[in-house]
Structure formats: structure tokens, C-alpha cells
Amino acid sequence: MTTNYKRVSGDAVEYEVFARKTRAEPLHQVGSVVAPDDDLAAAYARATYDEERWIEMTIVRKDHVIALWKPGETSET
Amino acid sequence: MSLSDLVLSIADNKQMLGLRYAEWATRAPSLEADIAAAAMGLDDLGHSRVLYGCLEPLGEDPRTPDRESDPASLRALPYFDEPWSEWGQFVAANAILDTAFTVMIEACVNGSVEVLQHRLRKMLMEERYHFLHGRSWLKSGISAEPLNRAWREAIEWFGPPDGDTAQLHADGRLSLGPKELAARLQERLETKAPEVKIDWKKWDPVRRRGRPGAIDERTFEMLRGLEEKRYAAQSKEA
């Protein structure tokens, strides 16, 4: 059964998914997926968020995003 | 066998692949994999519709009335005869058989037949994500049984070295012959196929498979719309 299945290609990590519908608008976050590698994350992002007519979709590992400040903080903190 | 026979075989196999994928839409190892199974199932069912639609422009539709009554008249591989009971069967089909169908579609798109060049190209873009999904799961390791079976059936499906696929390649209608298709599949999956000994005398050139058999009764009834009718009759009585 699937419950015994063990992924060995790495620990699953979270990827943020960004997309846009026109060239005029910037990429914006449309969701996230959890996957053990970039290939599977790409396949999952396309399968999950391809309901709309995006002209561009891209993914980025969440742990590669550098946070400058968070809610409740300011740029001076 | 003609090019139409080959296109019908791709269509029937993609239809069955799509149905078997869809059966895993709530059973895969993660929510993401569930959604991917559903999306890939929809893709392949859509691809089969496009392929069926190519038969008339090709000038010959090999579909016969017995497809309504005889499941053995469908041209899908033995791999799809029964629902899959293990995730490893899904992965082997996704990585090996789905990619085998894709390299054959590439051979059609890069061949000399205009209707296939135009209508099948978009499938290749969608198949890229099936490939990424299958290859990634394949790297995580699955048991040898479904893997070996999928390889065998893929190589059988490409056909014998002197069969119809080889002739279509020689005529320029396919850009690749059986040997090149097998090589492309291995190159794409970055792995070598296991040693497969095939008795081509037992191979069915119409169904492109080495074993008799047919899809299970319930799936066949669903394909014919009988499952839907069963529910429709109940709702009328209510």
C-alpha cells in the first residue's frame, strides 16, 4: 500500500508558485506545493494551478526566499 | 498495419492510461500526487480524443462495431487490463509507458504526415510534465516487477525490427523506427532497459501486444456508458 512507500530522493520541501496572466502584470503568488525535488514540484505546480490561462508560471523553493521583514515588523527593525 | 492502426493504438492506450491514472486521484501518496494523477488522467483522455479525431483525416478508421461488445477488440496494452493495486505500477506506467507513447507521438510530429504534425504537437508540451512526474518518482525507486513489465510492453509496443513501425519509418511517415524509439526512450529516462526476449511470432500486430486478454468488465462498461445508464435508471425511479 502507498502508506509504506518511502521517498528516497530527498526530503520534501515547500515551493512557492508564481504566475501572471498578461505581460503587463507582475508575477504574483498563486499558491504552493510540497515536493522532494524541482522536477516533481514543477509537475505538481502545473497540475494544481493550471486552471487559469497563465502566460507564465514559475516556482521557487521557499527556503531560498530571503525575508527582509515580516508582519508586525518594520523596515527599521 | 497502417498508420491509422498505429494512431488508433496510441489513442486506445492513452484512453486507458488516462482512466487508470484517474483511479489514483484519491489514492496517491500525497495530495499533490493525487492532483497530478487527476490532471494527467484528464490530459491523456483529452489526447485520446484528439488522436481518434485524426483517423478520419488519415483516410481510414480501423474502428469496428465489435468495439461495443468485445473488450478484446480494444488495442490497449496488457498493463491496462486490470486496475493497478500498487503505487509502483502507477509510477512504472507514468515513467515508461507514458514516455513510450510520447516518443511515438514525437515520431509522428516529426514525420511527413501533415495532420499529425499539426494536431499532436500540443500534446508534447503537456507530456513534459507527465515525464517530470514519472522520472522523479522513478528515481525514488520502485519494485522490479512493474518496472520490468512496463519496459517489456513498451518495447513490444514499438514493434518488431521488420514490422509496420519500421516500414512507416522507412516511408518517412514516422521519424523513428522501433530501434530508434527504444533508444530514445532509454535516453529520455537516463536508464537502460532490462534484457527483454520477445517472441515476435506470438505478438499480435493489431493490438501490438504479446499476450491475449482484455480490460476488466467494469472498465469496459464504463467506456461504453453502461455505468452511467445504471445510475440514470435509478434516478428516474426515485
Compute, in degrees rounded to 10, the torsion defined by CA atoms B101, B105, B108, B110.
Answer: -130
**Count of CB atoms within 10 A of residue B214's CB?**
17
Closest CA to B152 of B92, B86, B237, B235: B92
**Alpha carbons B131 and B94: distance in angstroms, whole number:** 7
Kindly determine whether residue B140 and residue A2, on different chains, have CB atoms separated by under 8 Å: no
Query: Residues 35..74 of A with a Cβ closer than 8 Å to B: which?
Result: 35-37, 39-40, 42-44, 46-48, 50
Phi, psi values for residue B216, rounded to 5°: -65, 155
Under DSSP, is residue B215 helix (H, G, I), strand (E, B) or coil? coil
Is B132 within 8 Å of chain A by CB?
yes
Judge contact between A41 and A35, C-beta under 8 A. Answer: yes
Judge contact between A15 and A61, C-beta under 8 A. Answer: yes
Give yes or no for residue A7 having a pLDDT over 60: no
pTM as predicted: 0.88
What is the per-residue DSSP string for B31-73?
Answer: HHHHHHHHHHHHHHHHHHHHHHHHHTTTT-----GGGGT-GGG
**Alpha carbons B1 and B35: distance in angstroms, whole number:** 37
- Please give the interface size between A and B, counted as residue pairs whose CB atoms are below 8 Å apart: 63
Give yes or no for residue A3 having a pLDDT over 70: no
- A43 interaction partners in chain B (CB closer than 8 Å): 36, 129-130, 132-133, 136
Kindly determine whether residue B35 and residue A37, on different chains, have CB atoms separated by under 8 Å: no
Kindly determine whether residue B35 and residue A48, on different chains, have CB atoms separated by under 8 Å: yes
Hey, what's the cell of B14? 492513452
ipTM attached to this prediction: 0.81
Kindly determine whether residue B135 and residue A35, on different chains, have CB atoms separated by under 8 Å: no
Quote the Cα angle for B89-B223-B109, to 5°. Answer: 70
Kindly determine whether residue B140 and residue A9, on different chains, have CB atoms separated by under 8 Å: yes
**Looking at CA atoms only, how far is residue B171 from chain A in angstroms?**
36
Kindly determine whether residue B136 and residue A9, on different chains, have CB atoms separated by under 8 Å: yes
Quote the Cα angle for B82-B84-B89, to 5°. Answer: 125
- A8 interaction partners in chain B (CB closer than 8 Å): 140-141
What is the per-residue DSSP string for A25-61?
Answer: SPPEEEEEEEESSHHHHHHHHHHHHTTS--SEEEEEE
Kindly determine whether residue A43 and residue B133, on different chains, have CB atoms separated by under 8 Å: yes
Q: List chain B pLDDT tens, one digit each, 238 residues.
A: 899 999 999 999 999 999 999 999 999 998 999 999 999 999 999 999 999 999 999 999 999 999 989 999 999 999 999 999 999 999 999 999 999 999 999 999 999 999 999 999 999 999 999 999 999 999 888 899 999 999 999 999 999 999 999 999 999 999 999 999 999 999 999 999 999 899 999 999 999 999 999 999 999 998 887 666 777 756 555 4
Under DSSP, is residue A19 helix (H, G, I), strand (E, B) or coil? strand
- A34 interaction partners in chain B (CB closer than 8 Å): 30, 32
Judge contact between B63 and B55, C-beta under 8 A. Answer: yes
Q: Which of A2, A5, A47 has its CB closest to that of B36? A: A47
Phi, psi values for residue A76, rounded to 5°: -85, -15
Give yes or no for residue A6 having a pLDDT over 90: no
The H-or-E segment that residue B27 falls in is: none
**Alpha carbons B110 and A27: distance in angstroms, whole number:** 35
Q: Which of B29, B32, B132 has its CB closest to that of A2? A: B29
